[in-house]
Amino acid sequence: MRILFLTHYFPPEVNAPASRTFEHCRAWARDGHEVAVATNVPNHPAGRIYPGYRNALAQTETVSGIKVYRLWTFLAANRGVLRRSLGYFSYLAMAVLAAPFLPRSDIVISTSPQFFCGLAGYFVSRVKRVPWVLEIRDLWPESIVAVGAVQRSLMLRWLVWLANFAYRKADRIVCVTDSFKAAIMAEGIPAAKIEVIKNGVDLEFFSPERSVGPEAARIPGLENTQGKFVVSYVGTHGMAHGLDTVLAAAEMLRDLPDVLFLLVGDGAERDHLVKQRDMMRLDNVVMLEQQPKTRMPAVWAVTDVSLVVLKDQPLFRTVIPSKIFESMAMMKPVILGVRGESEELLAESGAGVCVQPESPAQLARAVRRLYADADERRAMGLAGRRFVEERFDRKVLAVRYAGLLNGLVDARAGRTESPARGSAP
């Protein structure tokens, strides 16, 4: 099978969408499929091009058996609206213009957000005359409304119309939570057209055996974690995450000198958070910039408890942050400040503690509880690893995803009858 995948994010970028796309595509390539990815030059989240790349009209490389086509796009930092929107739209335009020159394909997948990337799949699939799978990793435009990036307006109604257009035209929709499926069905899309393939984790890379302590000494800033009980947040410092809550909890825990909060990542709110930490004189908070994925085992090595938090917005009850799975794979107990489907999953796993989102007091109490009980931490870590091994192995999920793709390709070729064909273009 020849697969063409359209995505804004791809390694060496280290965010969750880049990891999901890469790990699926790598598994497909290893299983003998021909996989091509059309993306842009790596620049997330600061809008700065990574070393070794240039924002040329087009450039190619091969990564783990995947043919990667990097297209010129307008680059912008992950903050603000206008410049980012120009970047997203420029990707759509370039993907469509490049479509005739991209490899022959049996199927096109595009992933959203950002939604113009998702929508690009419709046009590219029509040029290629092949089925189109629309992957939904976050409900859009609902997610940008939830964080205040876009206000309710005529433009918002247009974006909603575009989303529904894409849902109708896609041959199949793949979403990452059961809640997303319910929300898309509420727009009149039949359940048989929607498949849930949740996020998972690379159990070989995220393995406790890779969590080697001495490596931490070679990462500037991590030397401050030696001998401490480390509570780590690793990921985007964005508008959706409410990391002010973590700083407030750190202030409440000044009486525990062994407890240290470690925040690793970048994003629209990072500068604000650094200034706030300094203003509050929180010497129990260490903040590191985004680290390459190769350094993640060292970060996990110094971590005792993992934080996964979002703001207290109704929409976020539908999400499952991918960091939950990585924490479980590394046998690190999770303190989860997210309601809804994430909370249900963590409770089922027995791998952590749930707290009210945006509640510094509850977060501080949870840290005190786990700090005081090493046996509970160990039990939670074991339960989490067992849970992801049984249900969220990325290799297993990739095989299931490939089966869906094969079914669509066979149906288009007339070899089988698809029960969930999308609307005709």
Strand partners, 260: 230
Pick from 114, 187, 136, 138: nearest CA to 313: 138
**Residues 291 and 220: beta-carbon distance below 8 Å:** no
CATH superfamily of 2-200+393-413: Glycogen Phosphorylase B; (3.40.50.2000)
Same fold: 2-200+393-413 with 208-391: yes
Amino acid at residue number 127: V
Q: Give the number of residues written for the chain.
A: 425
How many angstroms separate the CA atoms of 47 and 9, rounded?
12
CA dihedral (46, 311, 8, 163) positive or negative: negative
Q: Where are the alpha helices (DSSP H) in 100-141?
A: 115-128
pTM: 0.89
DSSP letter at 298? H
Lateral strand order in the sheet of 305-309: 285-288, 259-264, 229-234, 305-309, 334-337, 352-354
HEC string of 6-34? ECCCCCCCCCHHHHHHHHHHHHHHHCCCE
Which pLDDT value is given to residue 275? 97
DSSP letter at 156? H
Which pLDDT value is given to residue 422? 39
3-state class (DSSP) for residue 144: helix
Strands 107-112 and 132-136: parallel
Domain layout of the chain by residue ranges? 2-200+393-413, 208-391
- Two tokens, residue 384: 């989490």
- Between helix 270-280 and helix 244-252 the angle, nearest 10°, is 20
How many angstroms separate the CA atoms of 60 and 67, rounded?
7
Lateral strand order in the sheet of 172-175: 58-63, 66-71, 34-40, 2-6, 107-112, 132-136, 172-175, 194-196
Sites in the chain below the pLDDT cut of 70? 78-81, 141-153, 211-218, 415-425
**Residues 77 and 85: beta-carbon distance below 8 Å:** no
- Which helix (H) or strand (E) segment holds residue 166: the answer is helix 154-169
Which pLDDT value is given to residue 419? 43
Residues 6+ apart with CB under 8 A from 214: none
Q: Where are the alpha helices (DSSP H) in 333-393?
A: 341-349, 360-372, 374-391
Reported CATH class of domain 208-391: alpha beta
Amino acid at residue number 407: G
- Which helix (H) or strand (E) segment holds residue 231: the answer is strand 229-234
